[in-house]
């Protein structure tokens, strides 16, 4: 069965600093990978996704993620964060045979001035 691990439950960072949110997945089949963001009291919004092709994926709001098959990772990065990036970030995986999306436990990014 697929699973997603987000090792960091919280990541505090100062404004304009770089950030990396880690995500590892386990699957024996080819997968699709996603990052979603959830702002307080809102639904989930798709940040970016990896389906195939280039392993570096660029998303909205200046975020990017790199798919690393050998390390089964899909870490999310941003070179300079803003206060408005404070939110919960979820990594998710689905395999190419089903449409079921499995989520990690989330990482709370807290940006301080």
Report residue 62: phi and psi, to 5°: 80, 5
User: Binding marks (x or -) toward another protein, 63..82, rule CB under 8 A?
Assistant: --------------------
Contact window for another protein (CB under 8 A) among 13-21, 42-50, 64-72, 76-84:
42-50
- Interface pick for another protein out of 10, 55, 96, 110 (rule CB under 8 A): 96
Task: Please pick, from the candidates 7, 46, 56, 83, the single residue that binds another protein as defined by CB under 8 A.
Answer: 46
Q: What is the DSSP string of 10-79?
A: EEEEETT--EEE--EEE-SS-EEEEEEEE-TTS-EEEEEEE-SS-SEEE-GGG-EEEEETTTTEEEEEES
98 binds another protein per the rule CB under 8 A = yes
């Amino acid at each position: 069965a697929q699973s997603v691990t987000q090792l960091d439950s919280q990541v505090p960072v100062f404004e304009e600093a770089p950030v990396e949110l880690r995500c590892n997945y386990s699957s024996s089949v080819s997968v699709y990978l996603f990052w979603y963001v959830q702002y307080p009291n809102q639904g989930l919004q798709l940040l970016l996704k990896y389906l195939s092709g280039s392993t570096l994926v660029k998303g909205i709001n200046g975020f990017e993620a790199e798919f690393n098959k050998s390390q089964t990772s899909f870490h999310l990065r941003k070179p300079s964060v803003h206060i408005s990036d404070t939110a919960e970030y979820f990594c998710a995986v689905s395999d190419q045979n089903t449409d079921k999306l499995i989520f990690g436990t989330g990482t709370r990014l807290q940006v301080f001035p």
